[in-house]
Each structure stands twice: as structure tokens, then as C-alpha cells.
Amino acid sequence: MKFTRVFAFMALAGMAGSAFATNGYFSHGYGMKSKGMAGVSTTSTDDAFGGANNPAAMAFAGNRFDLGVDLFSPQREASRAGSAGFFGATDPGRDFSVESDSNYFLVPELGYTHQVNNNLALGVTVYGNGGMNTDYEGGQIPANFCGAGAPASNGLCGQGSLGVDLMQLIVAPTAAYKIAPNHSIGISPLLGYQRFKAEGLQGFSGVSSDPTKLTNNGYDDAFGYGVRIGYLGKITPTVTIGAAYASKMSFDEFSDYAGLFAEQGGFDIPENYNLGVSWQATPAIRLALDYQHISYSDVNSVGNATSNMFTGARLGADNGPGFGWEDVDVWKIGVEHKFSQSFTLRAGYSHTDSPIEGATFAGCGATGTGANCAEVVFNILAPAVIEDHVTVGFTYTLASGNELTMAYMHGFENEVSGADPILGGTDTIKMYQDSLGIQYSWKM
């Protein structure tokens, strides 16, 4: 197989469309075996996705090549109610309700690992970290309702379609080394590429530090870097523990959107870490538990409070309004049952709290600077409110030793509502998700 052709496929497929991921804008898992167990992966050693999960695990993975693709379908909806009369008795209001288009995305990924000797393994993982996408049709708010002389407008009082499109692709070359027969460490330099566009945000021109770099500038791209390190230990014949830490990935600014994102277009990938334990309860059944923490609040464009605009901060400034996301803690539990030498079944469940919190008008306070004030209105662009996922999956081993793996995920519908002191009324965002993935693995 010519791996250069595979990498070209990954780059083109990853750039063809983005997805809205499941734990904030991170994916619920990487590799179909992990995705079949709700993302549990820290102690898994049976694929080449250590660069995305735990680099140390690849010391035990042998020689293999995994190539997979997910068909991901997020269903997003936004609405506003009760805005009439908010700015006076004659205010006609800006109520609307709209569902996002662009509901199907292909998300490819691959991993390769080679056992150099009994202790050292080298490989690479290529994956889409996640992303966010919304594509709302414009014209829900009638002419003059967003101001005298204003044309028919979208839900944020801009013109034309409303939405964003963010894609993040990461290449993670990996080295893993056994420091003892049952213990390993690993490292993965993270090389990132991301692209972004925004449309229909003209309504925020008055609070932007540079309205010419706020919206409708097409795609901009940025490159970045970081590192992931990991440890894995088989502490008894049946119990394995693991841990991995990924630094913040520092990216170039999106210069074409310097009037939108804080720090003149900054959009880094936040620091995150995961801890895991698994128990081989019987020769056929393995139970596994993972904990993951994602530090969204450490990235200004994501974590800065939307209400900063009420203190005079402008979009694009260092302290400019952001999405107001809080850090998230994700708990994942999975089970794997090996029915036979050729067939393994998986299932899993994960839970996190939405990084977006709504606030009532009373909570906003007289100045609009209360905690979580106006966050829902800005997150119409990025309704990352999913909290619970269930998954199932299987692997079938062919006579050649190669494997076919599939995984299905459902993210249960969740909604968040909050006061909108910018346009009046109460905004509501909601989403549910499904994905179906397939992976083929070559044993070498």
C-alpha cells in the first residue's frame, strides 16, 4: 500500500467538510474500537490510534494499519421567543425558529504502528480533532424588525445565511517505549491544521474591533503544534491503568477573522488529559472506565464571557467576547465481549455537562454582566449542548487476520435556554447526533 496516497486522501477528505463534535467540539472517541465503547481508550492497546488517545499504548499494539471513516449527522436547532416589546412598547420583536442545514459529514482517520524491536514502537495517527458547523437559512426576521430600514435578517440580525464552519486535522507521529515488560511511556508531537469561515454576523459589526474581518470572508486557515505524552501499566494480569496529557495546541491566528475571535483571530486547541483503568473480568469480558478533562476556559476565544461586550470589550480584542464555554469533565464506561476468536462486541455510555450555561434576565443583572449572561445568543453559532451518548460496535476478524470494525453512536437531544439582552427575549439552542463508522485494519 502506498501510504502517501492514503495521507492525501485523509487531507482531502478532512478538508471536504467539518463536523460538530460531541464533547464540546472534541470527538467522543478516536478509532472505531474506542468509538464503540463511548470513547474509552486510555488503556486500549489493540489499534494504532495512540497518538489521539494514549501514545504509550502503541508499545503493545504490534504491527498494524487502521483506516476508518465516520458518517456523522448532527441535528441543530435555534430559536428565540418573547422578544416583542423588549426595547419599548412599539418594538416588533425578533423571534425566530430555524434548523441548520448541512447535516451529514464524513470524518476520516488512520493509524499506523510498527514494532521496531521488543521495546520500541514507532507510528503515526491522523485524525480530525473535531470542529463545529452551523448553516442556518437567512430571512427569518422580517424587514425593519432589526432596525429601521434593515432588510429581512437572520436570527442574529445579519444578512444572508448564518453559521460557522470549523475543521481541525491533527497529525501525531508517535514513539512508545517499554520501560519494563508491562509498563510503557509514549510521546506524540501534535501537528495541526484548521480552517474556518463565518457568515451572517453583520449584526455584530458595532461591537467588533475590525468589522471588515468579522464575517463573510470565506475560509481562512491556520497551522499549530503541541504535544501529547502518556503512560500505560499492566499492574496485574487483569488490571491495566493509563494516563495521557495533551498540551494546549498553539495556532496561528485566523487573520481574516481578527474582528471576531479574541486575540485578533486566535483559536487554539485547549489543554486536555485523560485517565483510565480496565479490568479483564473473564477471558472474554473486559470492562473499562475513562475520565477526560478539557480546559476550554483557557482559550480566550472559546472561554471568554460573552457578556464582556457589556463592559466595552470588542470582538477580536484580547479580552473580547467569546463563547463563554466552561471546562468539561467527561466520564466514559465501556464493555467488550469476545464471543469467539473472530467476533467481538462492544458497548458504552458517556456523560459530560454542557460547556454552555444559560442565564435568566435576573441573573444577567442591570448591567448585563452577570455570570453566563448572553452566552446562548452567541452559541447559536456553536450549540455544543450534548451531554449523554450511547454506543455499540463490533469487530470481525477475517481468516487473513485483518479486521473489520464498525461503531454506532447516538448523542441524546439536549437544549439550553438563556436570556438575550442583545436582541431581546429568550434564546434556545438544541442538538442531537448520530454517527456510523467503519474501519478496516491490516495486521502486518
Q: Please report, in tens digits, the pLDDT of each residue of the chain (444 residues total).
A: 444 444 444 444 444 445 556 899 999 999 999 999 999 999 999 999 999 999 999 999 999 999 999 999 999 999 999 999 999 999 999 999 999 998 999 999 999 999 999 999 999 999 998 788 999 999 999 999 999 899 999 999 999 999 999 999 999 999 999 999 999 999 999 999 999 999 999 999 999 999 999 999 999 999 999 999 999 999 999 999 999 999 999 999 999 999 999 999 999 999 999 999 999 999 999 999 999 999 999 999 999 999 999 999 999 999 999 999 999 999 999 999 999 999 999 999 999 999 999 888 988 988 888 888 989 999 999 999 999 999 999 999 999 999 999 999 999 999 999 999 999 999 999 999 999 999 999 999
| 297 vs 303: CA distance, rounded Å | 4
The whole-number pLDDT of residue 2 equals 42
Q: Which domain holds residue 275?
A: 3-443
| 297 vs 294: CA distance, rounded Å | 9
Angle at CA of residue 292, ends 39 and 43, nearest 5°: 55
| 29 vs 19: CA distance, rounded Å | 13
The whole-number pLDDT of residue 369 equals 84
The whole-number pLDDT of residue 8 equals 46
Instruction: Label the pairing between strands 343-351 and 163-180.
Output: unpaired
| 141, β-bridge pairs | 153
- How buried is 421 (Cβ within 10 angstroms: 0-12 exposed, 13-18 middle, 19+ buried)? buried
| 390, β-bridge pairs | 349, 410
H helices, E strands: number in the chain: 6, 16
* Residue 95 backbone phi and psi in degrees, to 5: -65, 150
| 238 vs 269: CA distance, rounded Å | 35
Tell me if 224 sits within 8 A of 252, measured CB to CB.
Answer: yes
Give the CATH number, domain containing residue 367: 2.40.160.60
| 370 vs 160: CA distance, rounded Å | 31
* 186: CB partners within 8 A, 6+ apart: 50, 54, 55, 56, 57, 58, 59, 174, 175, 176, 177, 229, 230, 231, 232
* 9: CB partners within 8 A, 6+ apart: 108
* Residue 366 backbone phi and psi in degrees, to 5: -65, -30
Look at the block and give the residue holding cell 475560509.
Answer: 219
- Residue 402 CA, distance from chain mean position: 30
DSSP symbol at 38: T
Look at the block and give the residue holding cell 471513516.
Answer: 69
DSSP symbol at 79: E
Q: What's the whole-model pTM score?
A: 0.94
**383-to-5, 164, 277, 435 alpha-carbon distances in Å:** 35, 11, 31, 17
> If we measure between CA atoms, which residue out of 76, 80, 78 comes closest to residue 421?
80
* Domain tally, the chain: 1
DSSP symbol at 204: G
> If we measure between CA atoms, which residue out of 302, 197, 209 comes closest to residue 249?
302
| 127 vs 43: CA distance, rounded Å | 19
Q: Which three cell numbers stand for residue 247?
A: 498540551
Tell me if 441 sits within 8 A of 65, measured CB to CB.
Answer: yes
The whole-number pLDDT of residue 368 equals 83
Strand, coil or helix: 32: helix
